[in-house]
Structure formats: C-alpha cells, structure tokens
C-alpha cells in the first residue's frame, strides 16, 4: 500500500480552470493537490498544443517571404514555437510551485471511491482523499476510424506541429476550425493543401456570404476544398493515398482534424460516481456539478465550448461555490465571442442572419467586403484585404444580434462587438463611435451606416 494524503481540494489535470482555481484557493491558505500525468502538459492544452503554439505558427507562416526556403523556414518557426511553449510551461509551473499550500503530484489518477483517487507514477502509488474534487483533464484529438489512420504520414493537430519538413501536398480530413487554421497556415508555409469535407463544405452554420469570403481567401492562398467526400481508407506508403467517395488524393502528409474527445478513459469515473454522456464527456449542471457530491468538472472535459476563456469562466463558477460567495453559472453567459485564426481571422459572436430570421426576428443587416470599406484603410496598409464585415441588428430595438468579422484584427474587434451586445449598446452608438485611425474598428462606422 502506498502513501495516503488528505486535502481540501484535489484538482485532476493542469488546465486553465483547474490551475487558476488551485492558485486562488492555495493562495488563500486552502490545502490543494493538483495531479498531472504528463510533464509536456504542465499549464494545460492551451499553452502546450493548442491556442498559443498554433497561433505562433500562424504568425510565422504569415511572415514567410517567397524567397524563404520552406524547409529552413519551417524548422525555424517550430523552434520559435517550442521556445514560447517552454517559457510558458515553466512560468505555469512556478505559479503553483511557489504557493506553499499547493502540492503538485505527477502521475495517473483513477477514482477508487467517493472523492478518493489513486495516483500511480512508475512503481509508486499515492491515495488522495479530498473534501472537494475538480476534474480538468481536457480533450485530445479524436481519430475518425478510417482504416490506415495510424500510418507514419498521418498526423493529428498535435503531431503535425513538429513536421520535419514542409509537405509538398497536404490533405486535411475535416472542415472545422482546426482544419481551416492548419490549411491556411501550411499553405503559407508552402504546401498545396486540400481540405476533404465530409459535408457540403466548410462553415456549415455560417451565412453564405461569410462562407464564400472564407472560401475565396483560402483559394487565393492555394487551398482546395473537396466537398461531400467521405474518406474510406488511407494507404500510407512512400506517398499517402487518401481514398474518398470523390476520388483518390495523394500527399506527403495527412492531417486528421476530425474533432476532439474527452480525456477520461483512465479516470475510472464510475468508481467515483461520476456520470458521462454518450460521447464520454463528464455530465454537469449549470454550476458545473457532476453526479457525484462535491465533484465538479471544468474546461473541455465537461462538454461545453472548447475555449480557454470558457474554462476561465468555469473557474469563476466553481470558486464562488468553494468560497460561499454569490457567483456565476453557465446560464449567465451571453455573447461569447470566438475567433478562427485563418489569414485573415474570422471573429464571430451571436446569431447569423439566417438564424435570426429563422427565429422570427425582424432584422437589418450591414454587410460589406473588406476591400470596399473606404473608412477602414488598415487592411490595405497591411496588404491583407480579404474578408467581409457582417453585422445583424434587431430592427425594433437597434441592438446587435450577431456579427461575423472576417478581417485583419477580427480577434480584437469581435470583443468590442461582444461587449456592446452584453452592455446593450445600440448599433447607432457603434456606428457613431469615435475610433482610432487607421484601425479595423472603423469598419463599424461605415458598415453600420449602410444597414438594409
């Protein structure tokens, strides 16, 4: 029998919500144990394999000049990426290591009973019993079940970040956010990219004009989209061959960007009384409580939006319960903005025009290609004029219902629009706002001045 440990709070997994909760409660003197099974994931998914490293690669790809050798440039870009990740990982380690009340444990955790887990690390075992448990184990790439998907030329969104060279041809299976970001990125690194979309195309929930804007930007970067193409197998030899219902594709590398699945298999959740849904995500209510008493799940593992700011908001929700404070619930979330980091990025918040009309809303719409917005010279100054600005406004109240910003700086401007929606700022007030010049925010003056 190994050692035994009792604690006030046990956090399983070093994600955004869990690590922030551990630091906050530990700094307040509460005894906290945080368990992480993988040194390469210290700090969580965002800083190690997702948000930060991929956006660093996007930036590097955008800076590449035609005369830059693709192989050398990619190697340098990956080295830059790894340097950023290493520094962030160590900073995250220090944020908790310097809090006396926080104990960091390396190993694989599995429930053995009510709020009790056994952590295994090599030949050592540690049994931890806690008053409160927070699950924060995140997600990992999901394989679609295509024969041949585990070949050496087949990658997921993690492994493709360390390719040893630029593939002359890259086939991406999937048409979601991850697929689009890597397609845009690798096209600029020098690959001929083909997106294999199982459905009718990319961005199925978007309005047609926004989808067309993205398709045009990708096409101009050298990305092809193959719609309604169901992959049936991957033959991974000297060249990978992807067989689809629309024909065969050959490539030096294949990326499977077909979603993510929760990291719960090793936890033995049933032993802890924690229920999951049909996809394996931990079931929670609006306060993020699981089916087990005093056990919460935060971040991607609970099946909500897989976004770092959502995980941070999960922290706020659970912290309030652990400190007996009035707090938030998931029901409080409104106008949550997102960004797809293609070049240029696509910021999105609220309803599309189609969704608003389907809900019976009377709307006015402002939509204009970025290249034709005279009041917004910034895209011209930075030589990236692809895109569209589209804003949907309630005709009765003059409140913004939603927006799609496919433009330079979308990841920043979309936050302003989201704040306006939450604060009840009218479209007229945004239209008449005084913004810095030249900036992408200035598009609001012109696009909202042409509502139809």
Residue 243 CA to residue 230 CA, distance in Å, equals 8
Residue with tokens 């936050």: 415
Residue 172 CA to residue 140 CA, distance in Å, equals 17
Residue 402 CA to residue 258 CA, distance in Å, equals 27
Residue 113 CA to residue 292 CA, distance in Å, equals 10
Interior angle at CA 239, CA 236 and CA 244, nearest 5? 65
For 291, list phi and psi in degrees, rounded to 5: -70, -15
Taking the CA atoms of the chain, what radius of gyration do you get in angstroms? Answer: 23
Edge-to-edge strand list for the sheet holding 247-251 = 231-236, 240-244, 247-251
Q: Coil, helix or strand for 107?
A: coil
Catalytic residue among 132, 162, 406, 437: 437
Per-residue tokens: 316: 């706020």
Q: Is 437 annotated as catalytic?
A: yes
Q: How many helices (H) and strands (E) does the chain have?
A: 12, 22
Measuring CA to CA, which residue among 397, 392, 382, 65 is closest to residue 207?
392
Spell out the residues 6+ positions from residue 8 whose beta carbon is closer than 8 angstroms to its own: 25, 30, 31, 32, 130, 131, 132
C-beta of residue 421 within 8 angstroms of C-beta of residue 335:
yes
| Element of type H or E holding 60 | helix 51-63
- The full DSSP string for 412-451 is HHHHHHHHHHHHT-BHHHHHT----SS-GGGHHHHHGGG-
CA 318 to chain CA centroid, Å, is 21
CA 207 to chain CA centroid, Å, is 21
Residue 94 CA to residue 202 CA, distance in Å, equals 41
First-last CA distance in the chain: 72
- Residues labelled as active-site residues: 437
């Amino acid at each position: 029998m190994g050692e035994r440990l009792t604690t006030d709070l046990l956090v399983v997994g070093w994600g955004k919500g869990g690590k922030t909760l551990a630091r906050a409660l530990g700094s307040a003197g509460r005894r906290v144990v945080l368990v992480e099974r993988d040194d390469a994931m210290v700090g969580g998914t965002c800083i190690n394999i997702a948000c930060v490293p991929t956006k660093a690669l996007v930036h590097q790809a955008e800076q590449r000049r035609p005369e830059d050798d693709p192989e050398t440039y990619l190697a340098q870009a990956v080295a830059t990426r790894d340097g950023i990740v290493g520094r962030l990982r160590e900073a995250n380690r220090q944020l908790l290591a310097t809090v006396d009340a926080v104990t960091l444990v390396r190993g694989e955790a599995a429930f053995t009973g009510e709020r009790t887990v056994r952590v295994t690390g090599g030949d050592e075992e540690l049994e931890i019993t806690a008053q409160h448990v927070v699950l924060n184990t995140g997600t990992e790439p999901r394989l679609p079940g295509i024969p041949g998907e585990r070949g050496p030329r087949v990658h997921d969104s993690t492994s493709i970040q360390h390719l040893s060279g630029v593939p002359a041809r890259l086939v991406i299976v999937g048409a979601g956010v991850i697929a689009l970001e890597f397609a845009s990125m690798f096209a600029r690194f020098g690959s001929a990219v083909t997106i294999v979309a199982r459905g009718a195309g990319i961005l199925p929930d978007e309005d047609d004009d926004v989808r067309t804007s993205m398709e045009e930007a990708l096409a101009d970067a050298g990305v092809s989209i193959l719609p309604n193409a169901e992959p049936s197998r991957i033959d991974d030899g000297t060249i990978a061959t992807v067989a689809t219902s629309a024909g065969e594709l050959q490539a030096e590398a294949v990326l499977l960007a077909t979603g993510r699945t929760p990291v719960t298999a090793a936890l033995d959740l049933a032993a802890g009384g924690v229920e999951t849904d049909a996809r394996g995500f931990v079931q929670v209510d609006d306060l993020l409580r699981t089916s087990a008493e005093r056990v919460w799940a935060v971040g991607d593992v609970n099946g909500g939006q897989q976004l770092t700011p959502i995980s941070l908001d999960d922290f706020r929700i659970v912290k309030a319960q652990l400190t007996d404070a009035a707090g938030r619930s998931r029901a409080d979330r409104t106008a949550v903005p997102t960004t797809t980091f293609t070049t240029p990025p696509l910021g999105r918040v609220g309803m599309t025009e189609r969704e608003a009309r389907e809900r019976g809303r009377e709307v006015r719409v402002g939509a204009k290609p970025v290249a034709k917005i005279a009041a917004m010279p910034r895209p011209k100054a930075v030589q990236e004029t692809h895109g569209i600005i589209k804003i949907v406004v309630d005709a009765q109240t003059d409140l913004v219902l939603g927006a799609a910003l496919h433009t330079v700086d979308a990841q920043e401007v979309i936050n302003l629009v989201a704040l306006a929606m939450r604060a009840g700022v009218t479209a007229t007030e945004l239209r008449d706002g005084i913004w810095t010049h030249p900036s992408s925010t200035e598009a609001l003056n012109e696009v909202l001045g042409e509502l139809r």
